[in-house]
Amino acid sequence: MSRYVLVTDYTLLTNFRGVPLATFFSCLPTDYAVSRLVFRILAAPPELDARGQPVRIPYGLRKIESDLVNRVGRDDVVIADPRNMQRFITEDTEVVGLHTMDPLGLGPVSMSFTMGGTLTPYTKAMFLEMMAQVNHRPGRKYKVVLGGPGAWHFDYRPEMQQSLGIDTIVHGECDHLATDIFEQVARGDAPPVMRFTNATAPTPEQVPKILGPTMNAMNEVMRGCGRGCAFCEVTLRKSRYFPLDYIGDEIAWNTRYGSDSIQLHSDDIFLYKLENWRTMEPNEDAVKELFQYVMDRPGVRHCYPTHGTVSAAVTNPGLIEDLSTIVRAGPDKWVGIQSGIETGSPKLSREVLHRKAAPFSPEEWPDIVVQATEILNRNYWYPAYTIILGLPGETSEDAWMTVDLIDRMEQIPNNHFITAPLTFVPIGILRGEEFYNLDTMIDEARFNVAYRAWRHILMEVDTNLSRMTKLPPPVRAVIVATGRLGGRYIQKFMLKYARQRGFRIREPAKTRRQAEGHVVSFPAA
């Protein structure tokens, strides 16, 4: 009997068996037997409590839940399992709230995995399955509101809102206003689209604390960035930092439910409590204090940030070393971090990445990436880099520079990193620009960027996946075999595509790993 039912799709509720970076697999296409096999093996069902509700849910949805529970009471708010959500909807239900990340498969990873949207990623397929459940009752009386980081997809596919029966779509930060929005939607006087800007963004004190554990034990430590990349929504937000006791209270929810490895959600962890906005050099004391505080929480054994920019590793290599000491990183315990390389072109760095290289000049960006990778790896940090294909103004020459950059990174001794090639998606201040269309915009140089990035991923799967997957040996063996099979399948597919388009593959120099005698074999072009 709940007025408000909250739900998100299956891809945001599976922990992918704890395999590092496997969340990317939620964007695999549903169209091929191999990708269906990989997804079926990796995407473990969510853990449910005695009432059949998911135990861990996305951090953003927990925030909405908190505001509702704080203001209308626990009995009126329920989290549903998307596979049988009609069980959770009653005659009293007034609003179903949907949390989305990639509802229509337009996100950069999906667009990259699905040939620019010509295939259907699991994210989209499972969102549509969830919508079928939401609309299951003919003549339903409850209203439907949608929000979350994927709400922008409906700006590009506005016709889908009505066809999916979504009454209101909410954009922007509104965790502190969730109850007002739900009440307005329930009364039927909410507009079809609501947009919240920096003017109404909450202060840290206004953001309600979570009331339960989160997916991947995620806890937020800051919002906003300020480096100014033109394609990024985050940089449009004002910067705010959550105080340590706030973070500690939220972490306690995750440790209470058995998580000992905490993910610190940050748009750029090295900018936590930044003071020097001119140089953007980290506030070392504040960042170290944060990590030490988190490691000192009862039940915490490890912590790692979600995102960070590599320039900080070059300006403050001692900070990386100290953080490794604090989290007790070592050969068997690496610190994962997602970071954007985006391009190896100095010209595009100046035009699009703006202050990503600061305090260095934008033109120094490729050198900074190479130096930072060496520093991070030396201190047991494992960067998962993104590369964007088709940034506005990108020429073939720019794309070849990105290939050169991957070449240089592969020459770093004992290198460990992932390079995920993403296609350009027009968000941030580049909203309104064209989506990158794989079929019409790909050329030999851009194909080589994508190919070389995938080739490196496969190399990491071959040499590191087994070591980094903390699962019982038989399960691990299946996961590793699946990863190798899936990786090779994608690579063969790419090579076939290259032959059809007449693209030549620029063979890299023998990588350091091959020179050191590791067996790394690739199919011939």
Distance CA 408, CA 374 (A): 11
Report the residue number, 219 or 386, with the smaller CB distance to ligand SF4. 386
Asked if residue 371 binds ligand SF4 (CB under 6 A), the reply is: no
Stretch binding ligand SF4 (CB under 6 A), from 50-58, 224-232, 402-410, 473-481 = 224-232
Site for ligand SF4 in 161-190 (CB under 6 A): none
Report the residue number, 356 or 513, with the smaller CB distance to ligand SF4. 356
Q: Are 484 and 34 in contact (CB under 8 A)?
A: no
Q: Are 15 and 23 in contact (CB under 8 A)?
A: no
Candidates 144, 185, 221, 232; binder of ligand SF4 (CB under 6 A) is 232
CB of 21 to ligand SF4, least distance (A): 18
Asked if residue 227 binds ligand SF4 (CB under 6 A), the reply is: yes
Sign of CA dihedral 342, 346, 347, 351: positive
Structure tokens at 456: 């490196």
CB of 234 to ligand SF4, least distance (A): 4
Nearest to 105 by CA among 430, 425, 451: 425
Report the residue number, 128 or 430, with the smaller CB distance to ligand SF4. 430
Stretch binding ligand SF4 (CB under 6 A), from 65-73, 223-231, 275-283, 487-495 = 223-231
CB of 141 to ligand SF4, least distance (A): 41
Three-state DSSP state, 5: strand
Report the residue number, 347 or 506, with the smaller CB distance to ligand SF4. 347
φ and ψ of 44, to 5 deg: -65, 145
Helical residues (DSSP H) of 411-515, grouped into ranges: 438-441, 444-468, 473-501, 512-515
What is the edge-to-edge ordering of all strands in the sheet holding 218-220?
218-220, 261-265, 302-305
Distance CA 74, CA 89 (A): 15
Question: With left for phi above 0 and alpha for psi between -120 and 50, is residue 355 left, alpha or beta?
Answer: alpha
- Alpha carbon distances (Å) from 482 to 36, 141, 254: 11, 45, 30
Asked if residue 234 binds ligand SF4 (CB under 6 A), the reply is: yes
Report the residue number, 78 or 310, with the smaller CB distance to ligand SF4. 310
Distance CA 362, CA 470 (A): 39
CB-CB neighbours of 374 under 10 Å: 18
Nearest to 71 by CA among 191, 222, 211: 211
Single-letter amino acid, residue 398: D
CB of 173 to ligand SF4, least distance (A): 15
Asked if residue 383 binds ligand SF4 (CB under 6 A), the reply is: no
Report the residue number, 114 or 235, with the smaller CB distance to ligand SF4. 235
Asked if residue 225 binds ligand SF4 (CB under 6 A), the reply is: yes
Structure tokens at 74: 């626990």
Report the residue number, 142 or 270, with the smaller CB distance to ligand SF4. 270
Report the residue number, 311 or 379, with the smaller CB distance to ligand SF4. 311
Report the residue number, 231 or 451, with the smaller CB distance to ligand SF4. 231
Asked if residue 219 binds ligand SF4 (CB under 6 A), the reply is: no
CB-CB neighbours of 473 under 10 Å: 8
User: How many helices (DSSP H) and strands (DSSP E) are in the chain?
Assistant: 18, 14
Distance CA 323, CA 284 (A): 10
CB of 424 to ligand SF4, least distance (A): 13
Asked if residue 130 binds ligand SF4 (CB under 6 A), the reply is: no
Binding mask 456-495 for ligand SF4 (x = CB under 6 A): ----------------------------------------
Stretch binding ligand SF4 (CB under 6 A), from 40-48, 61-69, 143-151, 230-238 = 230-238
Asked if residue 340 binds ligand SF4 (CB under 6 A), the reply is: yes
Report the residue number, 149 or 228, with the smaller CB distance to ligand SF4. 228
Asked if residue 268 binds ligand SF4 (CB under 6 A), the reply is: yes
Candidates 61, 134, 229, 326; binder of ligand SF4 (CB under 6 A) is 229
Site for ligand SF4 in 350-369 (CB under 6 A): 356
Distance CA 379, CA 321 (A): 6
Candidates 65, 250, 267, 398; binder of ligand SF4 (CB under 6 A) is 267
Which value, in Å, is the radius of gyration of the alpha carbons in the chain? Answer: 23
Asked if residue 309 binds ligand SF4 (CB under 6 A), the reply is: yes
CB of 229 to ligand SF4, least distance (A): 3
Asked if residue 42 binds ligand SF4 (CB under 6 A), the reply is: no
N- to C-terminal Cα distance for the chain? 60
Distance CA 111, CA 436 (A): 9
Report the residue number, 254 or 386, with the smaller CB distance to ligand SF4. 386
Size of the site for ligand SF4 (CB under 6 A): 12
Nearest to 381 by CA among 459, 327, 462, 300: 327
* Residue 193: strand pairing partners: 169
Report the residue number, 217 or 229, with the smaller CB distance to ligand SF4. 229
Distance CA 170, CA 185 (A): 11
Stretch binding ligand SF4 (CB under 6 A), from 21-29, 141-149, 210-218, 221-229 = 221-229
CB of 353 to ligand SF4, least distance (A): 7
DSSP character at residue 67: H
What's the length of the chain?
Answer: 525
Report the residue number, 29 or 108, with the smaller CB distance to ligand SF4. 108
User: Can you give the binding site for ligand SF4, defined by CB under 6 A?
Assistant: 225, 227-229, 232, 234-235, 267-268, 309, 340, 356
